[in-house]
Amino acid sequence: MQIGPYQLKNQLIVAPMAGVTDQPFRNLCVRYGAAMAVSEMLSSNPDVWDTDKSRQRMSHAGENGIRSVQIAGADPELMANAAVVNVQQGAQIIDINMGCPAKKVNKKLAGSALLQNPVQVKAILQAVVAAVDVPVTLKIRTGWAPEHRNGVHIAQIAEDCGIASLAVHGRTRQCMYKGDAEYDTIKAIKQNISIPVIANGDIVTPEKARYVLDHTGVDALMIGRGAQGRPWIFREIQHYLDTGNKLAPVEMDEKRLVMLEHLKNLYELYGEYKGIRFARKHVGWYLDQEEQRPFRAEFNRLETVEKQCSMVERYFDEIAQN
């Protein structure tokens, strides 16, 4: 699949997830075979850029893959300005968020709330596309409510405005994350536009990836929660797509190395206090089985980098001895 000048090496993309797809996580997923990882969303409101959170999200030093930066907002001028600033900071692709149902984002009528207002959608897309020379991509939901699945209409607007590719989460805004993602609307979108379409939502196994590709005919897949604590899912899915066979589960030695490296990168990026808190979240995903609950409870009480790392080491040492 091609986005502007960028030829993706396969059909697997990491979904933007605020608080999850920071640079350490994006780099890991790209190393495990994802063709591209979209950054966490950045508000288009410049008043909030002078915070650690925004500064960290805007920095691309050490990024392994294509730098796709997502922006969120409702004002065409602010969005265009945010796009320009992020391109100056190194973004190679600007992604526009019209998929997020979060109240914080929707209060300002941004994210998926915009789907109710196609005129505003068009104004934002035109302004951003005109403002930057890099490809502009868009992420939407299928509509704003099950009885208002206007994804095809929005997709046509996107194509007319010069959007380079369109990612579609197979739920409406009203669905939040409830129920199952549906792929019929995504299939209809794919059939109605000629820019690349990326299917998203509930793709958590290699078999599901195969099914969604076949059912919708899309150009690529976007994977979010399925990669939390499992960055190797991209290797597993790609192998299955290539061969029809499933890889053996990831070895414990490999999981140990990845977790420790991931923790180290979190401490480096966020410093000890915040790094420890982010580490709890990711370790909770890596070791999410019921029998690992006592481990998680104890790990979440640890307050130093050394204690966190040695607890993970001990956990894998014990497994290796048994």
Ligand X SMILES: Cc1cc2nc3c(=O)[nH]c(=O)nc-3n(C[C@H](O)[C@H](O)[C@H](O)COP(=O)(O)O)c2cc1C
Decide if 100 is catalytic: yes
Q: Label residue 143 left, alpha or beta by phi (over 0 means left) and psi (-120 to 50 means alpha).
A: left
DSSP letters spanning 93-158: EEEEEE----HHHHTTT-GGGGGG-HHHHHHHHHHHHHH-SS-EEEEEES-SBTTB--HHHHHHHH
Q: How far apart are CA 266 and CA 128, in angstroms?
A: 32
Residue 254 C-beta: closest distance to ligand X, Å: 23
- From the list 100, 161, 175, 309, the catalytic residue is 100
* 243-280 burial code (b ≥16 CB/10 A, e <16): eeeeeeebeeeebbebbeebbebbbebbeeeebbebbe
Residue 16 C-beta: closest distance to ligand X, Å: 4
Nearer to ligand X, 27 or 43 (CB): 43
Nearer to ligand X, 16 or 76 (CB): 16
Nearer to ligand X, 9 or 225 (CB): 225
Q: Which residue has the tokens 């497994």?
A: 319
Residue 322 C-beta: closest distance to ligand X, Å: 33
Nearer to ligand X, 78 or 233 (CB): 233
Nearer to ligand X, 25 or 315 (CB): 25
Nearer to ligand X, 99 or 143 (CB): 99
Residue 241 C-beta: closest distance to ligand X, Å: 16
Residue 307 C-beta: closest distance to ligand X, Å: 26
Main-chain dihedrals φ then ψ at residue 32, nearest 5 degrees? -85, 10
Coil, strand or helix: which one is 314? Answer: helix
Which residue's Cβ has the minimum distance to ligand X?
224
Q: Which residues make up the interface to ligand X (CB under 6 A)?
A: 15-20, 40-41, 70, 97, 99-100, 139, 169, 200-203, 223-226
How many distinct helices (H) and strands (E) make up the chain?
12, 10
Residue 286 C-beta: closest distance to ligand X, Å: 16
Q: So which residues are the catalytic ones?
A: 100
